[in-house]
Amino acid sequence: MESAGSSKWSNWLFSRDPRQRLRIKRSLLAANVFGACALTAIYAGWMGFMAFDDVRMLCAVMAINCTLWYALLRSGLNKGFADPALTLPQILAALTIIVGAYAVTGPFHGSTMMLLVLVLVFGVFNLSPKGARIAATYTVGLLGCVQLIKMETDPVNYPFKLEIVHFLLTAASVPTISSLASQLSSLRVRLQSQKDELAQALTRIQILATRDELTGLVNRRHMMDVLLQHRKRLQRSGYHRFCLAILDLDHFKRVNDTHGHGVGDEVLRRFATVAQQALRDTDVLARWGGEEFLVLLNDTTTEQAEVGLERVREMLADARLCSELPELRATFSAGLTAYHWGEPLDVCIERADRALYEAKAAGRNRTVVHQGPPPTQRPHVEASEAPLPNGSADGGSLVAAALLDQADNRDDEDMPAP
């Protein structure tokens, strides 16, 4: 309970957004500089070196500054800026307050100089080179103006000889920090660029490893991984079903021989596009090799899968396969089969391949379905535990399909061998 309560308060104080939390925490961490400045002012007032009215005014300004930045970050309004962390505005505001403290702390004013450097250090890792130069120029210029005014109005506490030393130290240290911030910013940009290049290279490698370069479809190697995942899903659930179909473009060699390989490549690309548009989003189309394609038709029966292949055939008949040859058309032959629980994948693929050759032998431009032998063992799955997926056939149709399989097997047994 304490952990949950602590997490609730943490989310309320710092936001649930991880980036916003980091920005708010950094802003509050920088508030420690104001805490040190406030303690210095209070001690100076207690020792009589500074008027308590000035102490109260300085502490109030610092408190208002911290509150305003926290409110801006916590509200999310900072997200509309180019730099959501608002690093440069926060640093300029802090530098202004610290230089103001330098002007009112009297004999203690030298102790506030180290706070100027500390404020700039907070921006080393976030400031851009341009922002670092702006902060350094602003610091040196503002401090120089304040020193000139104080040497004129309060020469006792701000003697010329001492202020020259302070100014020279500031003019030497602040640009050094600015230069370091610029170098770190350039290094950060280079590292980010290298990171982006590595991410792009990894993406390209993944594409080359899983996609066919010509058609953009899943390649053969990755398709086998997809099939293995579906096979494992079937083994776990006992009711997941899918069909496989091998498609072969009819007389594709004639296209290459007559019109050239460039036209053949365009036909393959267009066929891949048309087939993907005709198939469902859950189906997977892969280039199997040459002009052959393998389709995984997910969560369906062979009857439903055949309807999907006919839809591909109809869209292909109206598709323009080559811009230079608008009259060019193509057809395909297909071998379709359902995967049965417990059988190796290569057995199912070989069965689809045999059906494909039968489609070619029967005149091409058609689909031949091979149901295949029923599995020797099936897991027992209760209807209440494993409901059929949406769009699946009901129990009656599954029984009818099993009876048809048995009838086909008996017909095959009665048929004389060729």
**Rounded-to-integer distance, Cα 301 and Cα 244, Å:** 10
Closest CA to 61 of 31, 28, 16: 31
Number of H helices, E strands in the chain: 13, 5
Give the pLDDT confidence score for residue 396 in this predicted structure: 36
Distance CA 352, CA 316 (A): 21
d(CA 293, CA 325): 23
Domain spans, the chain: 2-204, 220-388
Active site residues: 291
- The whole-angstrom separation of Cα 237 and Cα 283 is 19
Place of tokens 């100014």: 167
181 CB neighbour count, 10 Å cutoff: 24
Question: What's residue 416's pLDDT?
Answer: 37
Report the C-alpha gap between 295 and 235 in whole angstroms: 20
Structure tokens at 384: 């209440």
What confidence score (pLDDT) does residue 111 get? 80
Q: What is the pLDDT along the chain (418 residues), one digit of tens a residue?
A: 445 555 777 777 878 888 888 888 888 887 788 888 888 888 888 888 888 888 899 899 989 998 998 899 888 888 888 888 888 898 899 899 989 989 988 887 888 888 888 888 777 767 788 888 888 899 999 999 999 999 999 999 899 999 999 999 888 888 888 888 778 878 888 888 899 999 888 888 887 788 998 999 999 999 999 999 999 888 887 777 899 999 999 999 999 999 999 999 999 999 999 999 999 999 999 999 999 999 999 999 999 999 999 999 999 998 998 888 889 999 999 999 999 888 899 999 999 999 999 999 999 999 999 987 655 555 444 433 333 333 333 333 333 334 334 444 434 444 333 3
- Token reading at 168: 């020279």
Choose which CATH entry (3.90.226.10, 3.40.1670.10, 3.30.70.270, 1.20.1090.10) describes domain 220-388. 3.30.70.270
